[in-house]
Structure 1
């Protein structure tokens, strides 16, 4: 057992992730539909052109030198900082943690091939406060970025990396040893807070033959003062309502709002902005923050569209204009 950590329990009421006869993980509703080959092949060809795009419509960035965050690590005013894409720095319960951290310019196994970063990370890694732990939602390259994880592990030997089942060996192979693997429904007590591994609707793959060999998940971090939910990368599914009923209400829910077009290909595994608002409502969130947009060009929708649609959908929901947040990259906000 890692220092400062209790053993895993299953008090959330969720069963472990299902597996098929070959041992590969599957979703609660079974196999996902990724669209026909006639949709997928032209999509992948279009992705090759992202290298030549100028990033018009990408998220705005503000300077953050980390001074407030380093000081706040001693006091733990609950805050969230958008570093970019699905990477958030969260401070609550006297803890500092990161979600799906990526500081690399290319979320790809081969640098210079694939989508490039249009907006620099909102804070330099050297300016971060000490990071107590990291949660990883799944093994796609824009969410499990090994260069970043290695740098975080080298920066602080005590940082713990929480991953869904089947992802631990990859990190350990690259010298990251403070790793804890969890299944859906498992909870770990960590320095006074509870870390919950929860269902999501997605998939995993890092090579030609490892489809679904590693699990994907969402995460909740709960404590005496605040309750935070991180959806990771997911399609809309009934599990959000179950999570909200069993662990909510949440003070803040981070939901992905980009990478949703073409819908025939993306619907099962990526929410559109309207679905993201609905998911946050299901989660019984007091406020929600949009992530997974405006940093990399991963799909067909224009870069500025997710934020526009998220804002419009939220205005007609329980969140109104004030309860659904679109942060600038580098912006810190209390919650």
Structure 2
């Protein structure tokens, strides 16, 4: 970096090939391949112990893999790890900020370590505090910051050197909804400015909101990949629910639909509801209502629910609601 603080980098992606990581007899990663296109967000998803954080630590050169290759922005991790680190911004699961220093001092210190002059470092710190909406607290010690403010400061620290590639390991874990939405906006701004983002998250809604593509791993192996829309189309279905006027007619309604070859979507706790799974909600809704009308069964409402990444995750891993680190 130039000593006047000018940003050093262009855009770049991440390419991982045949990545294997063993800890003794435990094989944490098994021939993992990843491709994160420049200027996009890739979400890395999987249940607890799937290997996501291990993969992130290898890509960021904090671990040396048993075998395989990692290339970031055209730089090979094995042959030039020091240069690769200069191209990365990393925000881990826990905010790595000094509670004794102020917000300005934290970011100024990082900027100085990145090669900025003293004046440029302070200017960069102030700009980032403004960008992440914590400028008013910049002169206060971080020990008095809320969890959300610390996470924003940590993410700001990862961006001091304008890295072309940013790795975010569960960046919104433990944040309240308002802080989470604020960080989502910051990630979108990063991508709009040309950065490439690799994101692990325990919030599948987060991946749905932010990711251009997603890779699902389980037990160290890639089990699915694609855009969120593709994954939902391939591994989950929409549902259509009809609400009956008379709950006493539900058994007969189910039989009417079964006689027409319509498969019910699991048991319903609400005695007025009958639900079916479908890839084409519009025609199926009309079919359900029509069949029940012919049988003299009154329908007072219909509801359509589109699939989410949560549905995909449960289908692929059987992990219930856990989608974390």
As a proportion of its length, which structure holds more helix?
Answer: 2
Asked which structure has the greater CA Rg, the reply is 2
Task: Give the TM-score, by structure 2 length.
Answer: 0.31
Task: Give the TM-score, by structure 1 length.
Answer: 0.30
As a proportion of its length, which structure holds more strand?
Answer: 2
